[in-house]
């Protein structure tokens, strides 16, 4: 150790608080977690990877900036956990200790903006590599990226079948568009249902609203989709709906993949997204959703999609997105 290094180390050891990194300082990793190689995450509870890709959107672009924004926003929870130690969840009084969870951030996957197939292969390879070792957390990116990530999760585990819980304003069940083809963010659930380890009867959708195809209710019934619109959420309550949704997806499957499109939340709360639809989940409903999902043993992977921070000058959308992931991880690994 050089004299200069020794002096810095001595300062850190002797000054109280020098080990606390401010929320806005340091490298941007999810929850200020350790940067790791994608093949070196077998000893952690969860591994985060980013997919800054939005070439498959049909409306406003900008989700490519989602992973970076979510990472930066997440650093607040890492800071307060270091600063305050064990925390009290003021909603339910439970004690939460961030030392009880280990998270690594493997960075962003290689992308090929003008080549959707190679980009999908990259996402699948990285999701599979992580799934072989630990719990994958993907930061998107547009919702098309969920298809190759789900495929990677299914291929990287020993599961024979995988259920799918989709929190979203849209169903994403367009098999092919005359404008966008078969590979865009409106086709991801349709592509997933075609995979060998998935099927529509193991898909649960929560928060659907706005407008879909003329025969969508008949399609959902015939295909076996477990569909919960925002009207169902309002009539039955979010906790009851999500419990039923995850139980349905877990029935006769080996694991459940959770995808959360941030446009599932009302745009008055989360305007930073490409295809906002009024009348969505409240922030509280979204947090309860992740609490219920994180408490279910079958949930084996999660992603957060369609955060487009440029449309929210308050930075509230990425803050909520980060908090939603923290809430699921809290229930999964800390409580």
pLDDT tens for 154-173 read 999 989 999 999 999 999 99
Are 273 and 319 within 8 A, CB to CB?
no
The CATH class that applies to domain 24-334 reads: alpha beta
Q: What pLDDT is stored for residue 247 in this prediction?
A: 98
Whole-prediction pTM: 0.93
Q: What pLDDT is stored for residue 85 in this prediction?
A: 67
Q: What pLDDT is stored for residue 2 in this prediction?
A: 59
Question: Strand 34-35 to strand 299-305: parallel, antiparallel, or no bridges (unpaired)?
Answer: unpaired
Average pLDDT, the chain: 93
Could you read off the pLDDT of 271-283 as tens digits, one per residue?
A: 999 999 999 999 9
Are 238 and 285 within 8 A, CB to CB?
yes
Q: What pLDDT is stored for residue 43 in this prediction?
A: 97
* Alpha carbon distance 253, 237 (integer Å): 25
Beta strand extents in the chain (DSSP E only): 34-35, 46-51, 87-88, 95-96, 103-108, 135-140, 162-167, 203-208, 226-229, 255-261, 299-305
> Is the pLDDT reported for residue 229 higher than 60?
yes
> Is the pLDDT reported for residue 299 higher than 60?
yes
Given pLDDT bands bounded at 50, 70 and 90, which one contains residue 26? confident
Are 249 and 227 within 8 A, CB to CB?
no
3-state secondary structure of 239: helix
* Alpha carbon distance 6, 12 (integer Å): 10
Q: What pLDDT is stored for residue 5 in this prediction?
A: 66
> Is the pLDDT reported for residue 184 higher than 70?
no
Q: CB 260: neighbour CB atoms within 10 A?
A: 30
Q: What pLDDT is stored for residue 34 in this prediction?
A: 92
Q: Point out the annotated binding site for Mn(2+).
A: 143, 168, 170, 172, 261, 263
Residues in the chain: 335
| Alpha helices, DSSP H, located in 224-259 | 230-236, 238-250
Domain-by-domain residue ranges, the chain? 24-334
Q: What pLDDT is stored for residue 186 in this prediction?
A: 75
* Alpha carbon distance 119, 111 (integer Å): 5
Are 301 and 136 within 8 A, CB to CB?
yes
Given pLDDT bands bounded at 50, 70 and 90, which one contains residue 174? confident
Q: Point out the annotated binding site.
A: 143, 168, 170, 172, 261, 263
- Which of 285, 302, 177 lies closest to 228 in space, CA to CA? 285
Mean pLDDT on 37-62: 95
Residue 260 is given by DSSP the state E
* Alpha carbon distance 28, 198 (integer Å): 35
> Is the pLDDT reported for residue 7 higher than 80?
no
Look up residue 86 and give its two tokens. Answer: 């064990």
Are 308 and 272 within 8 A, CB to CB?
yes
> Is the pLDDT reported for residue 83 higher than 60?
no
* Alpha carbon distance 11, 26 (integer Å): 18
Q: What pLDDT is stored for residue 141 in this prediction?
A: 93
Q: What pLDDT is stored for residue 110 in this prediction?
A: 95
Q: In the chain, what percentage of residues exceed pLDDT 90?
A: 76
Q: CB 83: neighbour CB atoms within 10 A?
A: 13
Q: In the chain, what percentage of residues exceed pLDDT 70?
A: 97
> Is the pLDDT reported for residue 196 higher than 70?
yes
* Alpha carbon distance 286, 262 (integer Å): 9
Residue 178 is given by DSSP the state T
Q: What pLDDT is stored for residue 3 in this prediction?
A: 60
- The more confidently predicted of residues 179 and 123 is 123
Q: What pLDDT is stored for residue 17 in this prediction?
A: 83
Are 73 and 321 within 8 A, CB to CB?
yes
């Amino acid at each position: 150790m050089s004299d200069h290094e020794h002096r810095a180390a001595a300062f850190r050891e002797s000054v109280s608080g020098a080990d606390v990194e401010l929320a806005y300082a340091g490298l941007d990793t999810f929850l200020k977690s350790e940067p790791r190689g994608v093949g070196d995450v077998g000893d952690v509870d969860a591994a985060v990877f980013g997919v800054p890709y939005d070439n498959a959107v049909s409306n406003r672009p900008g989700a490519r900036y989602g992973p970076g924004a979510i990472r930066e926003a997440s650093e607040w929870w890492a800071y307060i956990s270091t600063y305050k130690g064990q925390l009290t969840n003021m909603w339910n009084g439970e004690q939460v200790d961030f030392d009880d969870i280990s998270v690594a951030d493997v960075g962003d996957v290689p992308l090929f903006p003008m080549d959707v197939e190679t980009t999908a292969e990259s996402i699948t390879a990285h999701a599979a590599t992580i799934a072989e070792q630990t719990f994958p957390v993907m930061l998107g990116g547009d919702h098309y990226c969920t298809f190759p990530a789900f495929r990677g999760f299914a291929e990287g585990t020993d599961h024979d079948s995988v259920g799918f819980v989709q929190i979203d304003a849209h169903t994403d069940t367009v098999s092919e568009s005359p404008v966008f083809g078969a590979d865009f963010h409106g086709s991801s659930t349709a592509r997933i249902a075609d995979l060998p380890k998935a099927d529509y009867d193991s898909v649960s959708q929560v928060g659907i609203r706005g407008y879909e195809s003329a025969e969508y209710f008949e399609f959902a019934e015939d295909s076996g989709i477990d569909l919960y619109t925002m009207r169902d959420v309002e009539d039955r309550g979010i906790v009851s709906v999500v419990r039923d949704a995850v139980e349905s997806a877990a029935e006769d499957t080996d694991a459940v993949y959770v995808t959360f499109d941030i446009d599932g939340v009302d745009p008055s709360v989360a305007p930073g997204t490409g295809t906002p639809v009024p009348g969505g989940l409240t922030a509280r409903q979204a947090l309860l959703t992740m609490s219920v999902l994180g408490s279910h043993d079958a949930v084996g992977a999660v992603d957060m999609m369609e955060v487009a921070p440029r449309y929210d000058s308050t930075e509230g959308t990425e803050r909520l997105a980060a908090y939603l992931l923290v809430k699921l991880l809290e229930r999964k690994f800390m409580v």
